[in-house]
Amino acid sequence: MKIIPVILSGGVGSRLWPLSREHFPKQCWAMIDKEFSLLQQTMLRTLSLEVADPIVVCNEDHRFLIAQQLQSIGVKRSSIILEPKGRNTAPAIALAAFEALRSQSNDALMLVLPSDHAIRDITAFEIIVKQAIKFAIQDSLVIFGVQPTRPETGYGYIRSGENFSVMEFVEKPNLEKAQAYLDSGEYLWNSGMFLFRAKVFLDELAVHRDDIFQVVSKAYQQRTEDLDFVRIDEELFSQCPEESIDFAVMEHTKKAKVVPYLGDWSDIGAWDSLYNYGEKDVDRNVLLGDVMAEGSTNCLIRSESRLVAAVGVQDLVIVETEDAVLVMDKKNAQDVREIVKRIKAEGRKEHMYHTTVYRPWGTYQMVDLGDRHQVKRIMVKPGEKLSVQMHHHRAEHWVVVSGTAKVQNGEQEILLIENESTYIPVGVVHALENPGKIPLELIEIQSGSYLGEDDIVRFSDRYGR
C-alpha cells in the first residue's frame, strides 16, 4: 500500500512579511535551504518512503507557482486541489480525502503535512511515519507529537497517555503553563502532521461535524478539472464552516493516537522561529544573502537584492526586499501582521506582490512606474506563450534583450531577436511566445491613460485563465 502525501499549502504567512506575500507565500521561498523552498522540502522528505502521486491543497492564486515548484523537483504527476476560499484544515483535509479515495478506494492512506514546516532529520521523520503506519492500518487517526525542547507559548500541546493514547489537547498556553508541561514530560507539541486512512477520517468527520462533511462532499462532487488542477465549486464550498481538524475531529474522536517525533522540527511561523532554527555564526547571528555584520549579536538579517550592513546592533530582525525593509526587535515577531494590516488599510500593494511577479509562462519585474508609463522586464520560459490579448487603454513597445520572440501583432506574425523591437498600438490583438531553447528576456514599455493589470481582454490562453 502506497502512502499519499497530502500537502496543505493554503496559508500566506503574513508574519513573515516582507518576504512572504499573498501572491508568493512563505512556503514557496527557500527559507532555510539555498536551493529548495519549504514546499519542495516537504515533498522531498517523503520520497524515501513508498509514496503515490501527491495531493496538494492550495488557493487559486498559487496554482501555477505550486505546479512549477513540484515539476522542478521531478514530480510529474500530482493532484492540485484549488480551494475557492480558505476554510481551515478540516475542510481542506476532507477535500484531499475525497480525492484520495478516488485514486485508491478505501485503502487510501494519507500522510498530511503542512507545506511550511522545516525538518532536517529525515531519518527521524521516516521512523515516525513507519511507526504511525502500524496504527493507521488499524483505523486510528494518528497525530505526530514533537518532543518539546523549551517552554513554547506559540504551539498547541498534546498530553499523551499509555499505548500512544491522546489524553488531552491543550491550546497555546502562557509561559508558566508551558514550563509545567515541559517539566511533566507528559506533553508533546502539536505538529499538525497526521497519518490515517481517508475513509476513516471522513467517517469520523461525518460523526462529529456532519455539517462540514456534507458541504465538502457536495462541493467535491461538483468539481471540475483542467491540467493538474481540481477546481471545487465555489458557491457550495463558501457555505462550509471554518474549522481546524483538531476542533472538528481530533478532540472528539476515540480513534486518536499520538506518536512522538524526536528529531528537529520548526513550523517557521514567524521571523523569530526562523532565527531559532537557523544556523548561527560565532556572534549568534543568522545571516542570509549579501549581509555584513560588525559588532552585532543575536540578529537575523536577510538580504534579497542588495548589500545590507549592520553595525553594533543586537536582537534585531532585518529583512530587505526590493520594495520593502523590515527592522524589528525579535521579541515583537508576532506583531508583523499589524504592519500588514496597515498596508492593506492604506490601499498599498506591498502585502500582495513583490516587484518580481511569477506567472505560468515566466516572470515580469517592475522597473519604473509613472502617471502614464510603466517599464517591465519580462522573462518567458522556453516553449511558453502569453495569452492572446488586447488592451483598451495602453500601447506597448517590446525590445528583445536576449533570446527569440515569436510575436503576433495584429495580422502580422514576426520573429524578433536580440536588439530588435515591435510597437503594439492600443486595441491591437497581440501575443508573445518563446519558440527557442533559452529564456526570452525583453523590456516592455507601456504608455497610456490606464496601466492596471485588469486592462487585459484575453481571447485564448493555454493556462485556462
pLDDT value of residue 193: 97
Q: Are 273 and 267 in contact (CB under 8 A)?
A: yes
pLDDT value of residue 292: 98
Residues 76 and 21 in one domain: yes
Residue 449 within any structural domain of the chain? yes
Rounded Cα distance, 141 and 201, in Å: 7
Residue 270 within any structural domain of the chain? no
pLDDT value of residue 152: 87
Residue 456 within any structural domain of the chain? yes
User: Which backbone phi and psi does 23 adopt, to 5 degrees?
Assistant: -100, 5
Residues 192 and 322 in one domain: no
Domain boundary among 229, 246, 261: 261
CATH of the domain at 235: 3.90.550.10
Domain boundary among 261, 295, 311: 261
Q: In total, how many domains does the chain have?
A: 3
pLDDT value of residue 453: 85
Residues 294 and 388 in one domain: no
- Residue ranges of the chain with pLDDT lower than 70? 1, 465
Domain boundary among 342, 366, 381: 342
Rounded Cα distance, 112 and 236, in Å: 24
Rounded Cα distance, 100 and 97, in Å: 5
Residues 133 and 240 in one domain: yes
pLDDT value of residue 87: 93
Residues 196 and 294 in one domain: no
CATH of the domain at 443: 2.60.120.10
pLDDT value of residue 221: 95
Residue 465 within any structural domain of the chain? no
List pLDDT tens digits, range 303-345: 999 999 999 999 999 999 999 999 999 999 999 999 999 999 9
Residues 223 and 365 in one domain: no
Residues 111 and 166 in one domain: yes
412: domain range?
356-460
Residues 295 and 432 in one domain: no
Residues 153 and 88 in one domain: yes
Residue 52 within any structural domain of the chain? yes
Residues 186 and 221 in one domain: yes
Residues 94 and 171 in one domain: yes
Residues 39 and 130 in one domain: yes
Residue 97 within any structural domain of the chain? yes
pLDDT value of residue 462: 85
Residue 350 within any structural domain of the chain? no
